Structure 1
Amino acid sequence: MRVPAGILALVLLASPLQAQTSFTGPADALDGDSLTVGGIEVRLFGIDAPEGKQKCSRDGQAWPCGEAAAGKLRSLVEGQNVSCRARGRDTYGRAVSVCSAGGIELNRTMVAQGWATAFRAYAQDYVADEVRAKAGRVGIWDSTFELPADFRRQNEERAAAAQAPVRLMHQPRASTNQSQGCTIKGNHSRRGDWIYHLPGMPYYNQTRAEAMFCSEAEAQAAGYRRAIVR
């Protein structure tokens, strides 16, 4: 699914998470709001942390607040069994969850300690925690920073501008393919990956095609890779 610029899609789908809503396991932080738990990739519900490469400014000096947020989440889960309650899946197949480790809720702790913002576009659960963290100037609130969604949007706009000549080169062919009834959908992810979806694959119907192909070989020749199905 093509995500509108700057918006991280947390659309909760109706399909269950492997027929379960809860799972537990050892964890590893991927960034400040996502991790793996027992091999399942998880997006923490209702919060939005700085991106891995994002920097904040303090006293006129840039510092890697995205790395710091990831480090904070890593410290909370290291050596712990993490328990999660899944609310559904996002468009990248991740389990959107509320998770706990060592008796604390990770979602709330990351916001309360100033390492993530309340993701108001999808939930109001952690707004009060964000207000207190901002008033106390803890974590990233002791800095000047872009909201993570704004940072992602600007990166997407820059990537789109850089890829414009390539898209224009492929566009006539894509339009022709679509008129010929070709069914393989090509799409650009928020991470900059060019992926394609086959009919019958998860999220095929939700994916907005930016190019259409008649065969996997044709899609691969255009620089796309097959979507990973979890």
Structure 2
Amino acid sequence: MSILLALLIASSPIFGIGAGGDGDSFQVNGQRIRLFGIDAPEFDQTCQRAGGDWQCGQAAAEALSRLVVGKDVRCVAAGTDQYDRILARCTVGQVDVNRFMVANGLAVAFRRYSNDYVSAEETAKAARRGIWAGTFTMPSEVRAADRASRPAVSSGRHAGRPKPVIRSTAKASENNYGCRIKGNRNRRGQWIYHVPGMPYYDRTRAEDIFCSEADARAAGYRRAIVN
């Protein structure tokens, strides 16, 4: 993204109707938004409470979806990330979306980048809300473990490095890295990913290829909804 475009984004509030994503990212009018200063559990992450596992990542995604999807959203940009998503503080009506997610135990304060939501996290922790009702692994640690578990490429200029994303060319899904998750922008302009075995996987044209669902979500895609 050019410096000029980044400055224009940062200087202009973003208004529009929210569309689905995961626990800390979504879309507004086709623009990919990453909630600044917070970090939600990965979509397929589980947490522990009352002696059992629960789908905390899905719960976070569903909560954010209820809050923003189909609603008038206002976002103020704080920059962009490495995936060209807009980092932003967002509101729906009088609700501070970033703070809501943290205060309800559906995300943590992302202290690496901001201390804005530390007080909201402490409130959730004291009340044992959401992920604080039991035990969990920090989302950043889940992503790091996922990256570390991937096989390294054995030769060529990528030797010794994982291959999380492969930009597509012809037959991108038939790559040499064993990465088979297809990212595609649908006719509504939504960024969707498909995993092998899904009904439309074979007919989906891959615009990006990912090695894990975590990578696809980090790049701003959401899982295809299968009825």
Runs (4+) off by over 2 Å: 12-21, 192-196, 219-228
| 1:103 Cα deviation after fit | 1.6
| 1:72 Cα deviation after fit | 0.6
Q: Structure 2 residue aligned with 1:90, among 81, 88, 91? A: 81
Residue 73 of structure 1 aligns with which residue?
64
| 1:91 Cα deviation after fit | 0.6
Does the Cα contact within 8 Å between 2:47 and 2:134 map onto a contact in 1? yes
Does the Cα contact within 8 Å between 2:147 and 2:162 map onto a contact in 1? no
Q: Percent identity?
A: 39
Is 1:57 equivalent to 2:48 in the alignment?
yes
Query: Equivalents in 1 of 2:81, 2:21: separation in Å?
Result: 16
Is 1:130 equivalent to 2:151 in the alignment?
no
Residue 154 of structure 1 aligns with which residue?
145
Residue 210 of structure 1 aligns with which residue?
none
TM-score normalized by the length of structure 2? 0.69
Residue 103 of structure 1 aligns with which residue?
94
Residue 193 of structure 1 aligns with which residue?
165
Does the Cα contact within 8 Å between 2:75 and 2:88 map onto a contact in 1? yes
- SS of alignment partner, residue 27 of structure 1: strand
Deviations 1:78-123 (A, max 9, x none): 3311111111110101000011112211001111111100000000
Deviations 1:169-197 (A, max 9, x none): x33xx38xxxxxxxxxxx856xx32348x
Query: Equivalents in 2 of 1:44, 1:221: separation in Å?
Result: 32
| 1:14 Cα deviation after fit | 4.4
Residue 44 of structure 1 aligns with which residue?
35
- The alpha-carbon distance between structure 1 residues 154 and 42, as it changes in their structure 2 partners (threshold 3 A), is same
One-letter code aligned to 1:82: V
Does the Cα contact within 8 Å between 1:17 and 1:86 map onto a contact in 2? no
| 1:19 Cα deviation after fit | 2.5
Query: Equivalents in 2 of 1:45, 1:25: separation in Å?
Result: 18
- SS of alignment partner, residue 76 of structure 2: strand
Is 1:16 equivalent to 2:22 in the alignment?
no
Greater relative CO (CA pairs within 8 A, separation 6+): 1
Aligned pair count reads 178
One-letter code aligned to 1:77: V
| More helix as a share of residues | 1
Deviations 1:50-87 (A, max 9, x none): 00000001122111100000011011113311111111
- SS of alignment partner, residue 8 of structure 2: coil
Residue 145 of structure 1 aligns with which residue?
136
Does the Cα contact within 8 Å between 2:165 and 2:208 map onto a contact in 1? no
Q: Which runs of 5+ in 1 are unaligned?
A: 1-11, 176-186, 197-215
Q: Which runs of 5+ in 2 are unaligned?
A: 180-205, 210-227
- SS of alignment partner, residue 87 of structure 2: strand
